Structure 1
Amino acid sequence: MSEVPRYTGRFAPSPTGPLHFGSLVTALASWCEARAHQGRWLVRIEDTDLPRNQLGAEAEILTQLETYGLIADEPILRQQDRIDLYNHILDDLAAQGDLYGCACSRKQLTGYTAYPNTCRNKKLSLTGHAVRLRVSDDTLCFQDQLQGQVCEDLSKTTGDFVLRRRDGIISYQLAVVVDDYLQGVTHIVRGADLLDNTVRQIWLRQCLRETTSKPIIEPIYAHIPLAMNAQGQKLSKQNLALPLNVKKPVENLQAAFVALGQNAIDASSPEHFLQQAITCWDINRIPRQTQLDGQF
């Protein structure tokens, strides 16, 4: 009889700037859901996109999380330390015939919804070109805990997608799937802005199953609604969302908890707040929508 894997969740920010209120909503939801299941909660720094990384952002993010009492159960994983691993995985996928080199520029692809398979059969080298993963024309579906059933035919929506850019930078899709697999992540609680990445990640995970003898589990997903600003934009670093105030952790934890549909908690410290949050957390109270009501 196979052993049921322990609940393992994660929060995976990119070091492109400090955390904001929307980041806190996501981090708190993933932390509470892990703790409610007596599970592990991991923090991963997703820093493969070097041009977007900001000096000092990682240290600020980790300080913010510590101030808010959101402490990882294991050492922080950084994707930049794993580039050789990702490239090794690419070699395995290439050996299966799943990959090909692509010389198309962004300008050449302007106007296309899905990649038009321009380079699919050209047999270009993987070195010096973008590396794309072949997709099937099957419709893949998954059941999201909050957003319901999601189905997608990748051949029509994205087409063969990039796993390594021409400049050698590993794509988000590859790094996140490999890391979730190797860290034993069983549940992914993240923002609804990443919902349309999920089917690509499910497909990639299916391809990886052919390269390894170690079982690859399919995580359970919950895409939480996004906090929006007064202009109707999601809170983000690109939209200049204000950094989390480290002087008001309890107030901000309370606001994030209530925004997630939970009951208010009276607490004197972040630690006290989180202790109580575990006992009354209910993921089913989170609104079944892609945007939170109100402005933040």
Structure 2
Amino acid sequence: MTAVASYLEARAQQGTWLVRVDDIDPPREVPGAADTILRQLAQHGLHWDEPVRYQSRRHEAYQAAVDTLLGRGQAFYCTLSRRALAELGGVHPGPSVAVATAHDSAVRLAVPDTPVAFTDRLQGPQSFALRDTEGAFVIRRRDGLYAYQLACAVDDADDGITDVLRGVDLIDSTPRQLHVLDCLARPRPRYGHLPVLVGTDGQKLSKSTGAAALGDDATANMALILRRLGLALPAELTGAPCPAQLAWALPHWTLNRLTGQQACPLPP
């Protein structure tokens, strides 16, 4: 659903639609999953405009950003364990616990005293007091892997991304990524956080809740998703190929039809 909505919005704005694979955490990756996702996008008529970006090939860019933030005194080395952090209530105290060496250390980014604010295209004004909720956050892990918040922010900046559309379940990531961009003096994209699909129990569809994998009937999938996005697909098009459904949907698409929504229930 997120792919379809972002695709339609990019096309409606005469923009380019890009696909990025966030493969920077090898221990958590499922072999073949990225190829499956790309195949499913193409199967549903969702064709990207530029070569796919793989975060696993961007380590030099991420390290350059870490070096910049360390050099400016905005980031610091830290050896505080998870247990020690939990004893502090889960909120990192900041540079006061910094260590001088990179050996066996994570790199954390200090957070501002004032809230990070932005206006979400769908969810409205947002404000997050990072100092109170999390404190300084990791941008490079102790094991040397780069953190999602850093990688996404750097990729958005380097690719000149103007608009990000993603699920509302990721809205807590946005202030962290905005803070990374602000520290690097890079432009902020606009963000829109779309409603997520939920089952009859109200839970977000995900592996952790036992949701089934995407079925192979692309035409049925597309028709269902367009209805969930508020587009009344004509009955004669429900069995049409995905490109025909998307071609009908494009002139009827407006992002603001989803304003304020945080969940889209699937039918029983």
State TM-score, norm by structure 1: 0.85
Q: Report deviation, 1:232.
A: 2.7
Q: Where does 1:35-114 land on structure 2 (aligned, <5 Å)?
A: 35-110=11-86, 112-114=89-91
Please say if 1:227 is aligned against 2:197: yes
Question: As a proportion of its length, which structure holds more helix?
Answer: 2
Query: How much has 1:126 moved relative to structure 2?
Result: 2.9
What is the alpha-carbon distance in structure 1 between the residues aligned to residue 166 and residue 128 of structure 2? 19
Q: What residue number does 2:233 align with?
A: 264
Question: Which of 61, 86, 92 pairs up with 1:115?
Answer: 92
CA distance in 1, matches of 2:209, 2:101: 38
Partner Cα distance (1:120, 1:174) in 2: 22
Moved over 4 A (4+): none
Matched, 1:169 2:145: yes
Contact 1:260 1:287 in 2 (8 A): no
Partner Cα separation in structure 2 for residue 170 and residue 122 of structure 1: 19
Aligned pair partner of 1:286 in 250, 258, 266? 258
RMSD: 1.6
For 1:215-254, what per-residue CA distance to the aligned partner results, in whole angstroms no more than 9, with x for missing partners?
x3211111011111233321112323212112x1121111
State the distance in 1 between where 2:64 and 2:11 align.
Answer: 34
Cα distance in structure 2, aligned partners of 1:38 and 1:185: 14
What SS does the aligned partner of 2:85 have? Answer: coil
- Percent identity, please: 38
TM-score, normalization by structure 2: 0.93
1:114: Cα distance to partner? Answer: 2.1
1:136 Cα deviation from its structure 2 partner: 1.1
TM-fit CA distance, 1:124: 3.0
**Pairing partner for 1:178 from 146, 154, 166:** 154
Residue 236 of structure 1 aligns with which residue?
206
> 3-state SS of the aligned residue for 1:108?
helix
Find the counterpart in structure 2 of residue 28 from structure 1.
4
Aligned residues: 264
CA distance in 2, matches of 1:219, 1:107: 35
Structure 1 stretches of 5 or more lacking a match?
1-24, 210-215
Shift of 1:157: 1.4
